[in-house]
Amino acid sequence: MSSPFSLMLKRAALLCGALGLAACTTLGPDYQEPQVDWLQDWQSSVYGQADTGAEAGEADFRFWWQQFNDPVLNQLIELARKENPSLRIAGLRILESRAQLGIAGSALYPQLQQGTGAVTYVNNRYHGGTVPDDRQSFVGYQAGFNIGWELDFWGRFKRGIESADAAFFASIADQQDVQVLLNAQVADLYFAYRTTQLRIAIARENAAIQKRSFEITNKIFKSGNGSELDVQQARTQYLATLATIPNLELTLNQTRNALSALLGRAPGDLPELAGRIEKLPDIGSADIPAMPASLLLRRPDIRSAASTIAAQSAQIGIAEADFYPAISLLGSISWSGSTLDGSPDLGSLGVGPAFQWNLFDHGRIENNVRLQDARLQQLIESYQDTVLQAAREIDDAAISVVKTAEQQVLLDQAVQASERALDIANRRFREGYSDFQRVLDSQRSKFGQAENALVNHGSHISSVISLYKALGGGWQATPVEQLVPEDTRDQMQERTDWGDLLSAPLPKDQANPSATSGASQK
C-alpha cells in the first residue's frame, strides 16, 4: 500500500507532466527578415567596376588593401587590428552579450533554488503565574530547501532567449563593422599622410625654383638691366609658396596623430612612416568581386540592424505573456527542532502548483505590448533607411572613383603642358623675347597644376577606399581568442570566473542575422 508521501509525489509528477505538455504556446510574432522592395531592381554595376563572374567574399575583397602593394600599409592595418581600442571594446561587447545570453538561458530552469537554515538560542524568564520554574532556555534549529519553477507556459523565456541570441549576433556584426571602418580609416589616413608628404615636396621644389628666379632678377636689377617690379613679383611668389609649407606640415602632424590613435599609441612619431614614397600607387578602379546588390545585405551594419530587429521582435512575445497567469511549481522541504525536553522535531514537505495573475492592470500590459511593437516598427524603418543609405554610399563612391580617374588623365596632361610652357617661357626670357612676368605666370601654373594632380590622385585613392568600405569589405570572422588580447583575457579570468566563455568557439555562421536558435552559446 502506497504511503501518503509517495502518493503526493506521484500526483505532483502527473501535474508536472500535464503542464509540461500544455506549455507549448509561444506568444508574439516570429522574426521575419525585413524585405527591401527596391533592392531586387537595383542592379547597379557601379559604373563597370563589378566583376559579374566572381563570387562575393573572395579573399582579395576581404583584404582589399593588399592591391595597393604597400607593405607599410599592410603592417599598419595589422597593428591596428591588434591594438585599436574601439575594436577591443567591440570584442568585449561580444563577451558581454554572450554572458547576457547565458542569463536568458538560465530562466528555463527553476528560478528559485534556496536553502535556508538557522540556529537560535532562546532564554525565557517568567514572572508571576503558577509555572514552577521562572527561567527556561533552549536552542532551536531549522533547515529547509525551497524550489520554485515558473513554467514557460506562454513562451516568455523562449522569447527572452531569442532576443538575447539575436543581440549576441548583433554584437558580432558590430565588431565586424568596426573592422570595416578601422581598415578604411587606417588606409585613408595613411594615403592622406603620403599625399601631404608629396605636396610638401612639390612646394619645396617649386620654392627652390622660385628662389632661383628671385636671385636672378635681383642680380639683373642691381646690374641696372632690370626693373624692381620683376624683383618684387619674384620675391612675392617665392614667399607665397614658402607660406604654404607650414600649413601642410601642420596637416601632416595631425594626420600622423590621428593614425597613432587608431594604433592605440600616444601622439608622436611613427617609425613605420619613417620612409618616403616617390609617388602614390596607380589604382585605376576598384576590384569588386560581385554585384553590389548581392554584397549590400552582407554589410555588417545591415546585418546588425537585422539582428536588432529580431531581438526586438521577441520582446513583443515577452510583453504579451503578461496578459496570462504565471504558472509555477513550488516545493519545500524543512526540518526543525530544539533542545527543549519533550519537544518533538518537525519535518515537513510541501509541493504543488501555483499561479499569479495580474487581473487588473489598467492598460499597463496592453500599452507595453504597443510600446514594444512601436519600437519594432522603428527598427524596421531604420533598417530600410540603413540599406538605402548604404546603396547611396556605394553609388557615390563608385562614381567618384570613375570621375576622379577621368579627371586624373586631364590633370596629368595639364601638368605636362605647364612644364613645357615653363621651359618655353624661360628660354624666351633668356633670349629677350618676353618679359619676366611670363616666367612667373608659368611657374605659378606649373605649381598649381602639379598640386591639383596630386590632390586629385589622393582623392581617387580615397574614393576607392570609400567604395570598399561602402560595400562592407575588409571584415573577417574573428576567433574568440582574438577578440581581446591574451593579457586582457588573463586579467579578466583572474578577476572573475568566466568559465569557458573566453575560449569557447563563436558560431561559425557569423553572417546569419536570423540564427536565433538559443543554442549558439551556453
Span 51-55, average pLDDT? 54
pLDDT of residue 3: 55
Give pLDDT tens digits for 90-128.
Answer: 999 999 999 999 889 888 888 778 888 888 888 877 776
Nearest to 471 by CA among 294, 305, 307: 294
C-alpha cell at 44: 547597379
Q: Which residue has the higher pLDDT, 309 or 500?
A: 309
- CATH topology (fold) of 18-110+154-324+366-495: Outer membrane efflux proteins (OEP) (1.20.1600)
CB count in 10 Å sphere of residue 142: 16
Q: Decide: helix, strand or coil at residue 259.
A: helix
Give pLDDT tens digits for 241-277.
Answer: 999 999 999 999 999 999 999 999 999 888 999 888 8
pLDDT band at 362 (very low <50, low <70, confident <90, very high): confident
Give pLDDT tens digits for 185-210.
Answer: 999 999 999 999 999 999 999 899 88
Nearest to 467 by CA among 378, 394, 402: 394
Helices (H) and strands (E) in the chain, counts: 11, 4
How far apart CA 142 and CA 347 sit, in angstroms, is 10
- pLDDT > 50? residue 56: no
Span 297-316, average pLDDT? 94
Cα-Cα-Cα-Cα dihedral of 323, 167, 392, 78, to 10°? 170
How far apart CA 268 and CA 261 sit, in angstroms, is 10
Q: Decide: helix, strand or coil at residue 233.
A: helix
C-alpha cell at 480: 574568440
Give pLDDT tens digits for 9-29.
Answer: 554 554 455 455 445 688 889
pLDDT of residue 132: 61
How far apart CA 417 and CA 440 sit, in angstroms, is 15
- For residue 332, the cross-strand partners are 146, 350
How far apart CA 196 and CA 237 sit, in angstroms, is 21
Nearest to 104 by CA among 167, 30, 16, 20: 167
How far apart CA 466 and CA 397 sit, in angstroms, is 6
Q: Where exactly are the structural domains of the chain?
A: 18-110+154-324+366-495
Among 386-390, 441-445, 455-459, the minimum mean pLDDT is found in: 441-445
Span 228-236, average pLDDT? 87
- pLDDT > 90? residue 294: no
- pLDDT > 90? residue 377: yes
- Please check whether residue 84 is in contact with residue 263, taking contact to mean a CB–CB distance below 8 angstroms: yes
- What are the residue ranges of helices labelled H in 263-363? 292-296, 300-320
Spatial neighbors of 391 by CB under 8 A, at least 6 apart, are 39, 42, 44, 292, 296
pLDDT of residue 519: 39
pLDDT of residue 48: 67
Residue type for 323, please? Answer: F
Q: How far is residue 149 CA from its own chain's centroid?
A: 38
How far apart CA 185 and CA 163 sit, in angstroms, is 32
Give pLDDT tens digits for 134-155.
Answer: 677 888 888 888 888 888 888 8
Q: Which residue has the higher pLDDT, 339 or 512?
A: 339
This prediction's pTM = 0.84
CA distances from 229 to 149, 219, 220, 226, 236 (A): 97, 13, 12, 9, 10
pLDDT of residue 59: 43
How far apart CA 285 and CA 456 sit, in angstroms, is 14
pLDDT of residue 344: 83
- Please check whether residue 279 is in contact with residue 148, taking contact to mean a CB–CB distance below 8 angstroms: no
Most distant CA pair in the chain, distance: 143
- Cell 632690370 belongs to residue: 226
| DSSP structure string for 361-382 | -TTHHHHHHHHHHHHHHHHHHH
How far apart CA 73 and CA 27 sit, in angstroms, is 52
pLDDT band at 6 (very low <50, low <70, confident <90, very high): low
pLDDT of residue 513: 44
**What percentage of the chain has pLDDT greater than the value 70?**
87
- For residue 255, the cross-strand partners are none
